[in-house]
Amino acid sequence: GAVVSQHPSWVICKSGTSVKIECRSLDFQATTMFWYRQFPKQSLMLMATSNEGSKATYEQGVEKDKFLINHASLTLSTLTVTSAHPEDSSFYICSAAGPQGNTEAFFGQGTRLTVV
Amino acid sequence: QKEVEQNSGPLSVPEGAIASLNCTYSDRGSQSFFWYRQYSGKSPELIMSIYSNGDKEDGRFTAQLNKASQYVSLLIRDSQPSDSATYLCAVSKGGGGADGLTFGKGTHLIIQP
């Protein structure tokens, strides 16, 4: 199956700093990637859709100036959490459509962000 | 507002028995339906996808879809302790990769040895 790699797997940062999370499709090109957030004992919530070469589309209630998304190439999308606060602590997961088309999404391993 | 509902459980099933997981969704425009398995602290893993009414079988897993009732289910036959996990139901208006997924909160399944 298609491989989506996320980095880092976990990160601890101080309140007020910014953190960048990378999502790469290793063996295929992904024109569209998605970013999700999962709080403890909650489900995954779609944050934004990242399109290569264009601006990301954010879901209602997600601050685009706080969660910066860049999809500069067909294999890399990045999510930057700016001025992080403890309430941003969560599990962030990206996904991308597989090489066989848009029928299935493959997930990265996720990034555990802890803001202290 | 798009919603996907699942019983959070825990659902406890003896080893070797059939585990039945259910899901309902509110958006009648949904076209793609997925079951993911998620272990604690890990990313979701795709178990089954289904796009048309009826049953779809893959090994020990059977997905069932009824669009008229807006209902999706997953049956796990010959349940194993390794099947213990949270099972997430997800739906999409387009393909799972073309559009983002709307997830339910998941059902925590426990297979008792």
pLDDT tens-digit map of A14-42: 999 999 999 999 988 888 899 999 998 88
**Confidence at A101, pLDDT banded by 50, 70, 90:** low
Mutate to test the interface with A, among B43, B45, B88 (most CBs of A within 10 A): B43
Are the CB atoms for B61 and B49 separated by under 8 Å? Answer: no
What values do phi and psi take at B4, rounded to 5? -130, 125
Two tokens at A111?
A: 């990034």
From first to last of the 113 residues of chain B, give the pLDDT tens digit.
669 999 988 999 999 999 999 999 999 999 999 999 999 999 999 999 999 999 999 999 999 999 999 999 999 999 999 999 999 999 998 765 567 899 999 999 999 99
User: For residue A49, which residues of chain B lie inside 8 Å, CB to CB?
Assistant: 99-100
Establish if A35 touches chain B: CB-CB under 8 angstroms: no
Q: Is residue A55 pLDDT above 70, yes or no?
A: yes
Write the residue in A91, A102, A110 that is nearest to B95 by C-beta.
A102
**A2 vs B113, residue with greater confidence:** B113
In whole angstroms, how far apart are CA A8 and each of A79, B12, B77? 11, 35, 36
Whether A29 has its CB under 8 Å from any CB of chain B: the answer is: no
Q: Please state, in angstroms and rounded to a whole number, the distance separating the CA atoms of residues A92 and B74.
A: 26
A83 Cα to chain B: minimum distance (Å):
25
Number of neighbours of residue B82 by Cβ within 10 angstroms? 8
Residue A45 with chain B: CB contacts under 8 Å: 103
pLDDT at site A97: 78
**Whole-number pLDDT of residue A4:** 93
